[in-house]
Structure 1
């Protein structure tokens, strides 16, 4: 048996040559190869302490998946405009951390379509070798970039236009039910762009002709290391069940899929001090 102890973080993701997601779990200073544990038994135990993922101070409650309350109300990365990019207020001079905003919000963003059980629209800053970590975190089995824009605010405005015609949220229960049917995302993109053509032209007139640029992108198929999907999902809550054991039957998005149809969202418990026995 191998034991890892320390602060939990969201799983790091990458893809191999077959576009299967490779998961690495940070536990303290250790990095655990989670793909290698598929089919094996493990035990995760929460020791009762939570440390903020930013300032590392001890906190009784975690906010925004790992932050203490002080960081929640002071950090730019915890501001409400991170969830609602159309409300980005950097241009108003009220950004909590202007330098952070310049590095993260005043850079190119991509508007994408993804199949996470249903087709959704979203935004991301990074598309490495064609596949965004955001798509993998959301459990998308297909994804493609649709538009490139120069900043977060513009991406939020475009996403808002799209939301009138398509979902912008992932239903995690639907995502975990199994492998969804393939969707012709190119056709969805064409129909969506046609539906928002008029307001998109208005946005270009406001921001400049090059502010919203179409991107010719292939449909990226993404595979997940899952041996068995749950039939009836039973979610594990570490606050209520501080220790559990089971066989890891798969990983999708940021979820572990365990025997007895149990699942746990690892990202939700970032900052929790745990012991993992494998």
Structure 2
């Protein structure tokens, strides 16, 4: 999840937004590069969204399906699922490469990208657009909410049963490690899923507004519709920044791995320098 989120930031912000605003006319503005970049943005975004769904499903299986947990919650299964999601995300977004055309040509070199008119007139592209938005993020919305409800329901039922059992056995319940682990699972689950839903909500509203009103024209930078579009894009890009920080705050194993990553170069340099000092 952290890697795909980082890829969204690299492709959408570092290689697209920043050059487009501050370095217009660079080689990244060539139509071929621009088209590839846009396709990569959509592929990274879809992978990021659906890995959030698979993470939610993984937590659901780990907490609610003990029999399936031993078979599903393994490193091998995780690698297969992540690879499959990313591969499908890339394949499904190849059409975005072919929907753009150059704005103008200079010395037989095509520059910049704009959507072809067929994007708004072709029934096939209209269907593709609806499917794209239904799969990202409308269907993930429903799946995440459903899985969260089932997971929390299972945790609450199991917690009540555990408390009753402890009371029956006259045991203290104030420092129950199992209960604490379940509470942390709920916090992590709702933090990641909740931030995803809230930050993508404006994007969904903007999409529905455009399709229901059939109004795609923007009058200028002060147009409320332009502000809505840019706000939606900003928030859905920001959603790809949150998961890594959430992991860093809530997961001790993630923090340990991050410390190891930072300390490894230092240890390597020290191992190289120490013999020279002796």
For the pair shown, the structure with the greater C-alpha radius of gyration is 2
* Structure with higher strand content: 1
Same fold? TM cut 0.5? no
TM-score, with structure 1 as normaliser: 0.24
* Structure with higher helix content: 2
